[in-house]
Structure 1
Amino acid sequence: VCGFDLLRCEGRSYVCDVNGWSFVKNSYKYYDDAACVLRKMFLEAKAPHLSSAIPPILPWKVNEPVQPTEGLTRQGSGLGTFGQSEELRCVIAVMRHGDRTPKQKVKLKVTEEKLLNLMLKYNGGRPRAETKLKSAVQLQDLLDATRILVPRSRPGRESDSEAEDFEH
């Protein structure tokens, strides 16, 4: 797993997409290795007295011979000698990535003719189920159309900064 996308909604986070899964999804070795690593982490965190007593490999793997892989060799990669062949199958990381603001997206279903015409404009005149507006010009057109359609809730409001007072 190379990464995942989070959807944040009502104060909670949900994984909505997993990236890089296809290269390991049919690999028993990946699941076995991940199970060993996770088991070791859990034992060290919750039962350190058992951590050294339980073997680090899965019980059903003890008598199976190690199968060489077709990956880079230590000799060929300049990392070691004796021609041993190794292949990286997984890297496990649990992390919190808190320095990036999530994308702000809004999905709307509209029936207002002015907004439908705007959607047609950005779909090349063809009706479609969905229209993505991303550029500054497109978003400004949407804002202008919305301002015409939605009257100000209180008289005397002149600045856009007060738009935060609107309830969604």
Structure 2
Amino acid sequence: MNINVLKNILLKCICSLSENNLVLTARIFEHELDLLESDDIVKVLKDLSVLELCLIIAMKHHSEIYDNQPMNFEMVYSRYVKFANKHASIQTVQRPVVMKAFEHIEKLELVSMISQGTSRVQKDYQFFKLLVTSQQISEAISKSHGVPTEIVQWANSSLT
């Protein structure tokens, strides 16, 4: 987060600070931070490759269908391949390439690994939780250029 942006948010809140509206000012500050974080996430999503976007969309649909239950790479990969096979214009990518894209999404902290205790689980089967909202995904895709129409439609479809 840019320190100058944070300073501006603080100044905005302090200027409206008085004894009577301390709670309100805290809410304003919280709201401004939420907006800033959301904008940052949308920017990160916007910069993803088409393959990475497809994986995010697959995760979004999994989360919608299974009520935000954790998912693993296998589940996401299966949903992506099913989509790619349905659409002739979408090229299926080799599994190791898809795994690298998934790992990149993890490094960007768009997903978070759910602790499995001390057991060693093969990477393909470790559970993750999607950390971005459907709204952020939709906003990023609407602001992105060059995303194939089928992918935009898939992102905007419900429970496919």
Specify the TM-score bucket, using the shorter chain as the normaliser: under 0.3
TM-score, reference length from structure 2: 0.19
Higher RCO, Cα 8 Å, sep 6+: 2
Q: Which has the larger radius of gyration?
A: 1
Where is the helix percentage greater, Structure 1 or Structure 2? Answer: 2
